[in-house]
Copies of this chain bind each other. A is one copy, B any other.
């Protein structure tokens, strides 16, 4: 390599230039591909971008047409500003922001006018001081109200606009002569902006947060079903216990279910602002979707535990005894997994089509039956064997917890090296003390 570097020494800018250009072209191509993929994955994103452009172009007409501009003057700016900040991807998001903005502007504008009249009583010298005190107090109180969870969830944006409008009206009242006229103009331009956003959002290719939530909850159930189906084939199927489960793509998709809470919460929050549409009535039970989401995540956790246990087993030496008991238990496992997978897939499609499927119960009953069959393998009189089984299972689960702390210790240890944590004296003498990277399995 060194000699190669030597021969390259004479290679100047001219020889590098084509390489740099082709490198940049490659990067541009990659970027274009990425952008195309984002658009292809969900074409509604392209429509949304065009909608924002459309809404902005619509409100900017107020600037170009003389009679319209003379009505509002420079306040027209507020219509443009409102469109930019209020326009959201979903109808619910736009409605939530738009209504929050409109009502907060109205309320804060009225309060600001009141503050102005009150402060005017104090005379020329006292007015700015009194106005300052009002602004300070209102801003502090309103900011604190954002820490109340209910306010944060539904009116966070409204509170921001409330502080903004109150401050602007109260403070500029000190300089402005025609305050009422100004307030009227601003309120009407904000209303124009909000109306433009709502119309564009609701009537041009609308994206409903409610529908997205509906589909997300169904898709999450499908991911679990898909994982179980894949696992049934890979681990319990014909290729039984051959090859690791790690790195399979069907394994990765269910993991996103575990982190879906934030998205579901925000979609449900927006969905509550949406009017009835399509299959979703005005008071559609969005909370129930959150409940389904929570139990689905619990289910995903349980699947994660099963997956972790099986992965650990596969890394250890494999047992090969062809025991009758083992075969019977595994046959029952295959059945349980297959039927549960079918039940989950049925649930998913019954949500998607809003049509209750009678086969869900059937599949689940068969899974339950298989579970009972395992139970029956241990005769009720033989409490000793039962005790052994329960103890062993508990021990395996506890062992799994112990094993799970391995990566935690390793990650914290890496942090301690990255930021140079203080280390105790004696360990420095004994050399770098790294935590033991043990993989514990109950193995032969």
Q: Looking at the complex, which of A2-10, A15-23, A404-412 is the stretch in contact with chain B?
A: A404-412
Chain B residues whose C-beta falls within 8 Å of the C-beta of A419 in the assembled complex? 280-281, 284-285, 354
Q: Is A321 interfacial (CB 8 A cutoff)?
A: yes
Inter-chain contact B350/A48, CB cutoff 8 Å = no
Chain B residues whose C-beta falls within 8 Å of the C-beta of A435 in the assembled complex? 360-361, 364
Q: Is A160 interfacial (CB 8 A cutoff)?
A: yes
The one of B61, B137, B364, B399 that contacts A53, using a Cβ cutoff of 8 Å: B137
Q: Is A277 interfacial (CB 8 A cutoff)?
A: no
Q: Could you show 16 A-B contacts with beta carbons less than 8 Å apart?
A: A35-B148, A53-B140, A84-B139, A221-B408, A258-B301, A262-B262, A288-B414, A289-B415, A326-B391, A340-B405, A356-B427, A357-B424, A364-B402, A365-B436, A371-B402, A386-B442
Instruction: Type the 1/0 row for A214-258, where 1 means its CB is closer than 8 Å to any CB of B.
Output: 000000010000001000000000000000000000000000001
Chain B residues whose C-beta falls within 8 Å of the C-beta of A262 in the assembled complex? 259, 261-262
The one of B368, B404, B426 that contacts A402, using a Cβ cutoff of 8 Å: B368
Q: Is A347 interfacial (CB 8 A cutoff)?
A: yes
Inter-chain contact B444/A336, CB cutoff 8 Å = no
Inter-chain contact B288/A368, CB cutoff 8 Å = no
Chain B residues whose C-beta falls within 8 Å of the C-beta of A414 in the assembled complex? 288, 291
Chain B residues whose C-beta falls within 8 Å of the C-beta of A144 in the assembled complex? 35, 38-39, 45-46, 49
The one of B54, B136, B326, B347 that contacts A56, using a Cβ cutoff of 8 Å: B136
| Chain B residue at minimal CB-CB distance from A176 | B74
Chain B residues whose C-beta falls within 8 Å of the C-beta of A64 in the assembled complex? 128, 131-132, 174
Tell me what chain A mostly uses at the interface: helix, strand, loop, or mixed: helix
Q: Besides the contacts A53-B143, A285-B418, A302-B308, what 15 more A-B pairs have beta carbons closer than 8 Å?
A: A52-B140, A84-B163, A262-B262, A298-B404, A302-B403, A319-B386, A344-B408, A347-B412, A350-B416, A356-B416, A356-B422, A361-B435, A364-B409, A374-B395, A390-B442
Number of copies: 2
Q: Is A393 interfacial (CB 8 A cutoff)?
A: yes
| Chain B residue at minimal CB-CB distance from A81 | B164
Q: Is A388 interfacial (CB 8 A cutoff)?
A: yes
Inter-chain contact A301/B305, CB cutoff 8 Å = yes
Inter-chain contact B354/A422, CB cutoff 8 Å = yes
Inter-chain contact A440/B57, CB cutoff 8 Å = no
Q: Min CB distance, A359 to chain B, in Å?
A: 9
How distant is the Cα of A228 from the Cα of B398 in the complex, in angstroms? Answer: 10
Q: Is A310 interfacial (CB 8 A cutoff)?
A: yes
The one of B374, B390, B418 that contacts A399, using a Cβ cutoff of 8 Å: B374
Q: Is A389 interfacial (CB 8 A cutoff)?
A: yes
How distant is the Cα of A261 from the Cα of B265 in the complex, in angstroms? Answer: 14
Inter-chain contact A412/B350, CB cutoff 8 Å = yes
The one of B61, B63, B292 that contacts A411, using a Cβ cutoff of 8 Å: B292
How distant is the Cα of A340 from the Cα of B408 in the complex, in angstroms? Answer: 11
How distant is the Cα of A297 from the Cα of B308 in the complex, in angstroms? Answer: 13
Instruction: Type the 1/0 row for A372-403, where 1 means its CB is closer than 8 Å to any CB of B.
Output: 10110010100110111111111111111111
Chain B residues whose C-beta falls within 8 Å of the C-beta of A406 in the assembled complex? 364
Inter-chain contact B393/A392, CB cutoff 8 Å = yes
Q: Is A438 interfacial (CB 8 A cutoff)?
A: yes
